[in-house]
Amino acid sequence: MSTLVIAAEPEPIMIETEKTAVVIIDMQRDFLEPGGFGASLGNDVALLSRAVEPCKRLLDAVRAQGMLVIHTREGHLPDLSDAPRAKVERGAPSLRIGQPGPMGRILIRGEPGHDIIPDLYPKADEPVIDKPGKGAFYATELHSLLQRHAIENLVVCGVTTEVCVHTTVREANDRGYRCLVPGDCCGSYIPAFHDAGLGMIKAQGGIFGWVTDSAAILSGLHR
C-alpha cells in the first residue's frame, strides 16, 4: 500500500492508494459531442473538451498503479420508467430525453450518445455505474461497490462540475468519503459555475472536500 501526499486546497491531503477510487463522471458522447443531451439544453459542448486530456493522463497514471477506476453514465431505460416527468419535461419538446437525435435517442441507455467517449473508454475490468440521476449514489450500487473494496477516498473527475460532479461529491461527503477533485479534469458549459463549484467544495476548511489538479496528483504518485 502506498501513501500519497497530494497538494490541494484548503490543505494537502494524505491518501492510501488501495483505499482510493478514481470516479470518472459521465464523460459520455451525450454531454461532450454535438447533437446529444448537453447540446439539446442549449449548451456549447466544446467547452467540456478541455477536461479530456487531463483525465486521460490521470487515468494512465492511476491504472499503472492498479488503483480502482469507476466510470458513471447518466441515462434512462428505453421505456423511461426511471425518468421523472419533471426531468423529461426540460428543454425543447423535440429534443427531450428519449427523443431521436443524431446519436440515437437522447440520454437513453444503449444508444450511441449514451456511451463514453472513445478517448476515456473504460477498460474491460473497470466498473461502469449507470445512474438515472445527477448524483452517482442515488439509485445505484456505487456505495456497496466502494464498501466492498474498502474505499475511503474518491478522486472525482468528469462533467459537469456544478451538476453531476458536485451532486456526487455532496452525496459522497455525506456517506463519509473524502473527496479530492482535480479541477482540470472537470468541465462545465458555464465557466463561472465551474469556478464557483470548485470554490464551494474547498471553502470553509473543505466543507465538501479538497480541490487540486491533475499535475499535483501525478506528482504525488511519482514522488
Instruction: Provide the annotated active-site residues.
Output: 26, 131, 164
Instruction: Please report whether residue 108 would count as binding ligand TIU according to CB under 6 A.
Output: no
* Least Å from the CB of residue 5 to ligand TIU: 30
Q: Is 131 left (phi over 0), alpha (psi -120 to 50) or beta?
A: beta
Residues 171, 136 contacting (CB under 8 angstroms)? yes
- Which secondary structure element, helix H or strand E, spans residue 40, and what is its range? helix 37-40
Residue whose cell numbers read 423535440: 94
Pairing of the two strands 100-101 and 104-105: antiparallel
Instruction: Please report whether residue 163 would count as binding ligand TIU according to CB under 6 A.
Output: yes
* Least Å from the CB of residue 111 to ligand TIU: 16
User: CB nearest ligand TIU: which residue?
Assistant: 164
* Least Å from the CB of residue 48 to ligand TIU: 9
Residues 6+ apart with CB under 8 A from 124: none
Instruction: Please report whether residue 159 would count as binding ligand TIU according to CB under 6 A.
Output: yes
Dihedral sign from CA coordinates of 73, 209, 149, 17: positive
* Least Å from the CB of residue 110 to ligand TIU: 18
Name residues contacting ligand TIU, limited to 71-100 (CB under 6 A): 74
Which among 92-100, 122-130, 158-166, 196-204 is the span making contact with ligand TIU, rule CB under 6 A?
158-166
Distance, in Å, from the CA atom of 172 to the CA atom of 83, rounded to the nearest integer, reads 22
Residue 187 half-sphere exposure toward CB, CA atoms < 13 A? 23
* Least Å from the CB of residue 162 to ligand TIU: 7
Give the nearer residue to ligand TIU in terms of CB position, either 41 or 80.
41
Name residues contacting ligand TIU, limited to 190-209 (CB under 6 A): none
Give the nearer residue to ligand TIU in terms of CB position, either 7 or 117.
117
Distance, in Å, from the CA atom of 195 to the CA atom of 70, rounded to the nearest integer, reads 25
Name residues contacting ligand TIU, limited to 9-68 (CB under 6 A): 26, 31, 41
Give the nearer residue to ligand TIU in terms of CB position, either 163 or 217.
163
Dihedral sign from CA coordinates of 31, 35, 37, 39: positive
Instruction: Catalog residues that contact ligand TIU under the rule CB under 6 A.
Output: 26, 31, 41, 74, 134, 159-160, 163-164, 189
